[in-house]
Amino acid sequence: GAGVSQSPRYKVTKRGQDVALRCDPISGHVSLYWYRQALGQGPEFLTYFNYEAQQDKSGLPNDRFSAERPEGSISTLTIQRTEQRDSAMYRCASSLHHRSLTSGVSYEQYFGPGTRLTVT
Amino acid sequence: TQLLEQSPQFLSIQEGENLTVYCNSSSVFSSLQWYRQEPGEGPVLLVTVVTGGEVKKLKRLTFQFGDARKDSSLHITAAQPGDTGLYLCAGGSGGSYIPTFGRGTSLIVHP
């Protein structure tokens, strides 16, 4: 079946421009996470959604970063007024289950191929 | 704050050698995942361990969860060049829906 897809795979933009990164999760996956990953390092959490609700955005670096998932499926991460320090690999991941904290949480995640953002 | 420390950070070995990588924390996790990430790709889930002391095998890979559910190890037998990649451990606990990722072990297996 289809995995997690992200678009574009590569984005080069000039400083000051806005960019929108798209994530299409596995069909039926309730949870969707956004990460930023430096080369050779583990993913750094940005934000996550259960269905269309943004549950935690504590990892977003500043208010230039925002994310939405209006219909509980596709998500968009938007970076306004990009700066060179925003250059990174942005990944999203989806997870099948969203369970209550009392019955257990599925932490298994399925990652997309990422969007390599370069701000010049 | 939960932290996962992975060691070693880098590993370069010859084909056929055995190796073990470690994932350690001072926190207890309800489950722990291992991922492998090949260059240019996203992390791919290998296994989840849930029970303290649990051992899971995936072909030449053996995963173990510590009795206290604070640490885990991944042992690879007779490594092959196709095992090259970044190995990540990630864990979660009932207090959060956000898994904690380690920084990874970068493995290169030379033919």
Residues in chain A within 8 Å Cβ distance of B101: 42-45
As a whole number, mean pLDDT of residues B67-95 equals 93
A75 vs A49: CA distance, rounded Å? 9
As a whole number, mean pLDDT of residues B7-29 equals 95
pLDDT tens series, chain A, 120 aa: 589 999 999 999 999 999 999 999 999 898 999 999 998 899 999 999 999 999 999 999 999 999 999 999 999 999 999 999 999 999 999 998 655 444 456 688 999 999 999 999
Residue B109 vs residues A8, A100, B85: alpha-carbon distances, Å: 32, 41, 9
As a whole number, mean pLDDT of residues B101-109 equals 96
**Those residues with Cβ within 8 angstroms of residue B77's Cβ, 6 or more apart along the chain or in another chain:** B18, B60, B61, B62
Nearest alpha carbon to residue B6 among B28, B34, B29:
B34
Q: Determine, for residues B103 and A41 on separate chains, whether the beta-carbon distance falls below 8 Å.
A: yes
**Those residues with Cβ within 8 angstroms of residue B70's Cβ, 6 or more apart along the chain or in another chain:** B24, B25, B26, B27, B28, B29
Mean pLDDT of chain B, nearest integer:
93
Residues B35-76: pLDDT tens digits? 999 988 999 999 999 889 999 999 999 999 999 999 999 999
Chain B contacts to A (CB-CB under 8 A): 30-31, 33, 35, 40-45, 48, 86, 88, 90-92, 94-95, 97-99, 101-104, 106
Burial classification of residue A111, based on how many CB atoms lie within 10 Å of its CB (0-12 exposed, 13-18 middle, 19 or more buried): buried
SS3 for B1? coil
Q: What are phi and psi of B81, to 5 degrees?
A: -55, -30
Q: Is A111 on the interface with B (CB under 8 A)?
A: yes
The count of CB pairs under 8 A between chains A and B is 64
Q: Determine, for residues A114 and B98 on separate chains, whether the beta-carbon distance falls below 8 Å.
A: no
B102 vs B45: CA distance, rounded Å? 14
pLDDT of residue B3: 84
